[in-house]
Structure 1
Amino acid sequence: MKIIDWYILKRFLVTFLFTLLILIPIAIAIDVSEKIDNFLEHPNLQLSEVLNDYYINFIIYYTNTFMPLALFIAVILFTSKLSSNTEIIAITNAKVSFTRFLYPYFIGASLVTLLSLAMNHYVVPKSSKIRKGFEKKYINTTKQANALKYVSNFSLQLTDSTYVFIRSFNTENKLGYDFNSEVYDGLELKSKLSADNIRYSEKDSIFTLTGWRKRLIFEGNDSIFSGSKLDTVFNFSPKDLVYKSALAQEMPSGELLKYINISKKRGVKNLNAYLVELYKRTSLPIASYILTIIAVGLAFRKRRGGTGLNLAIGVAIMFLYVFFMKVGEVLGSVAGVNSLSYVWLPNILFGFIAIYLYLHGRK
């Protein structure tokens, strides 16, 4: 690498870190102002617990979230500074092409992308599990807690021939009502196990059925058995009954992918919320390249208004990107749609803008 490459790369990384160090304290200050009442409601809550279980993981989560934004703003800031100081004019006069000028930018974007990918797929999910556990214990409202606590009218395919139906289930005390398990041979029902109540024991992974009835279907006659209590095992746990995007955020990508594949085999109809979470862990880091090209294209040429105008345009573009990203996540979570296309939609749209600015910059 040439001296100018090291110079640009150094400015890239320093400005990027400086921008993150500005954004994170602002996020913490806003969060403290919102959550201080929740913290004070618990007199036994220690400051060390707040810092270690919540705010350290809060910083990890939002540092990763703000990376593309910080990268975009950082590139606009220091590239505008290069332009206003006529340093870019000197570089272009030295017969350095726009493509060659982007070389150190792409090295910096690659470093940020690799870091973001590692955090998205491995670090942040584990961190989020600790943070959300703290939120569930000290912060979440009753309505939010109940959304994860109660499951109703749930169906699950355990094997190619076995199906489970539960009228309602409380994931906190592991107790459910109106349970049915049906075994089929093709389209023909072979047996049915029903129970008034079903309770799960985490200690030995056993389900206890109370008020149970079992019907075996044969040609010409049926056999019916019943009893007050029956201990048995099934190939699922209460965790499999709750399909919420919040739970997907707590799973490392390997575990999340395995969970999605198992759920598909069990016949779960809508896993798009999980697919959206899996896909965006890659799409958002990759956006660093697209946003870098857009930022350089905006700030490459010296213009009236200088850094302030470039920054205003950049912030507007960033908000549009975030808007399309959120819309894509919501639409991608709807049953029956292609989640991958919706998650990558912002990158595709802004990719065209990046290509236009790149071609314009080459002239």
Structure 2
Amino acid sequence: MKIIDWYILKRFLVTFLFTLLILIPIAIAIDISEKIDNFLEHVDLGFYQIVDEYYKNFIIYYANTFMPLALFIAVILFTSKLSNNTEIIAITNAKVSFTRFLYPYFIGATLITIISLGMNHFVVPMSSKERKQFEKEYISSARQKNELKRVTDFSLQLTDSTYIFIRSFNTETKSGYDFTSELYDGIQLKSKLVANRISYNDKDSTFKLSTWKLRKIYKDRDSIFSGTKIDTVFSFTPRDLIYKSALAQEMPSGELSEFIEISKKRGIKNLNAYLVELHKRTSLPVASYILTIIAVALGFRKRRGGTGVNLAIGIGIMFVYVFLMKISEVLGAVAGVNSLLYVWMPNLFFGCLAIYLYLNARK
């Protein structure tokens, strides 16, 4: 049986790579047609820079995104070909069960899952950071740039007793105005620091407050101090003020988990957009096993119409899976819901379908 295992595994992986190499150029061609005007607007933007800073990272991102789809299509194509060539009939006549027949497929799916997990958790976030920086500089509109640049009416809990409030802050210039810091002892206000302007210094990680006033509250009296300028330290940076789900895609999983934990301690109410991104990095690669079972079960039996019918059914199933995945991501980002459950919901649903098809194929 080892010869057949190697034969199936080799053909499976070759078909997978071939399918992936077909999907990537299509994605690149569509993207170029949409962004060619943006590239031509910048006369200083060279071909090498576009390829190195954008399309290199574009290929990494979409190769990882297309892996489950390419795997699903590859398994259907290859298994249907085995069935049409009556090779599966010879295998089953040799008393090989459907479960045993799945072994080489699962070895291939495991290899792809491991690669996808590594890319999702480490490689793609670093690559996305460079790609999004390029998009921000050369592709994004002025409105999109301002969404990430300016923060208004922001509050943050730094510790159990310290809270800050900022009326407006520009994350590009790293300065803002109407800043307030309050220190509490339980529910009792102990001190309040206000400043007309606040700016951040990257060199020494300090904040400069302009036209500031500090009020300290005691049992029998208050003390008020004021000044023109003062340098001080707070346990946050300008990046902490930007709570956008897009930033989660730029963080490796370790950094993202740490960011979520710190944000929880700071009292940020809705972090589900970040949790969805974190859970999705595991759920999508694991879906390779589910999609493999479904694809093998579809292509295992010879059908009237051949490979085309199986492929059409498979593409329909993939469309439903992607549709449910996108819906679950949106619903999982809503405040107050269990983001883990919503992210894994498509896998649970299609897992039940995979079990049904597996039991049916075993008969």
TM-score (norm 2): 0.99
Asked if residue 282 in structure 1 is aligned to residue 282 in structure 2, the reply is: yes
Summarize deviations over 1:168-222 as a string: whole Å, max 9, x none.
1110111111111000101111000011111111122111111211110111221
Provide the C-alpha distance between the structure 2 equivalents of 1:2 and 1:161, rounded to a whole number of angstroms. 65
Provide the C-alpha distance between the structure 1 equivalents of 2:98 and 2:243, rounded to a whole number of angstroms. 48
Any residues of structure 2 matched to 1:39-188 within 5 Å, and which? 39-188=39-188
Asked if residue 255 in structure 1 is aligned to residue 255 in structure 2, the reply is: yes
Report the Cα offset of residue 156 of structure 1: 0.9
Q: What is the total number of aligned residue pairs between the two structures?
A: 363
- Counterpart of 2:352 in structure 1 is 352
Q: Decide which moves more: 196-205 or 307-316.
A: 196-205
Runs of 4+ in 1 over 6 A off after TM superposition: none
Summarize deviations over 1:116-148 as a string: whole Å, max 9, x none.
000000110111111111111100111211111
Report the Cα offset of residue 350 of structure 1: 0.4
- Counterpart of 1:212 in structure 2 is 212
- Counterpart of 1:30 in structure 2 is 30
Provide the C-alpha distance between the structure 2 equivalents of 1:180 and 1:319, rounded to a whole number of angstroms. 50
Summarize deviations over 1:299-342 as a string: whole Å, max 9, x none.
11001111101001100100110011111111111111111001
Provide the C-alpha distance between the structure 1 equivalents of 2:178 and 2:299, rounded to a whole number of angstroms. 64
Partner SS for 1:152: strand
Provide the C-alpha distance between the structure 2 equivalents of 1:152 and 1:278, rounded to a whole number of angstroms. 27
Where does the alignment leave 5 or more consecutive residues of structure 1 unmatched? none
Provide the C-alpha distance between the structure 2 equivalents of 1:116 and 1:103, rounded to a whole number of angstroms. 20
* Aligned-partner residue type, residue 120 of structure 1: N
Q: Report the aligned-residue RMSD.
A: 0.8
Asked if residue 334 in structure 1 is aligned to residue 334 in structure 2, the reply is: yes
Asked if residue 194 in structure 1 is aligned to residue 194 in structure 2, the reply is: yes
Asked if residue 293 in structure 1 is aligned to residue 278 in structure 2, the reply is: no
* Aligned-partner residue type, residue 321 of structure 1: Y
Provide the C-alpha distance between the structure 1 equivalents of 2:257 and 2:62, rounded to a whole number of angstroms. 24
Where does the alignment leave 5 or more consecutive residues of structure 2 unmatched? none
Provide the C-alpha distance between the structure 2 equivalents of 1:95 and 1:243, rounded to a whole number of angstroms. 58
- Counterpart of 1:311 in structure 2 is 311
* Aligned-partner residue type, residue 122 of structure 2: Y
* Aligned-partner residue type, residue 258 of structure 1: E
Summarize deviations over 1:64-118 as a string: whole Å, max 9, x none.
0000000000000000000111111111111100100000000000000000000
Provide the C-alpha distance between the structure 1 equivalents of 2:150 and 2:173, rounded to a whole number of angstroms. 10
Provide the C-alpha distance between the structure 1 equivalents of 2:201 and 2:325, rounded to a whole number of angstroms. 41
- Counterpart of 1:232 in structure 2 is 232
* Aligned-partner residue type, residue 147 of structure 2: A
Q: Decide which moves more: 257-266 or 233-242.
A: 257-266
Provide the C-alpha distance between the structure 1 equivalents of 2:336 and 2:98, rounded to a whole number of angstroms. 43
Partner SS for 2:95: coil
Percent of aligned pairs sharing the same letter: 76
Report the Cα offset of residue 152 of structure 1: 1.2
- Counterpart of 2:323 in structure 1 is 323
TM-score (norm 1): 0.99
Partner SS for 2:194: strand
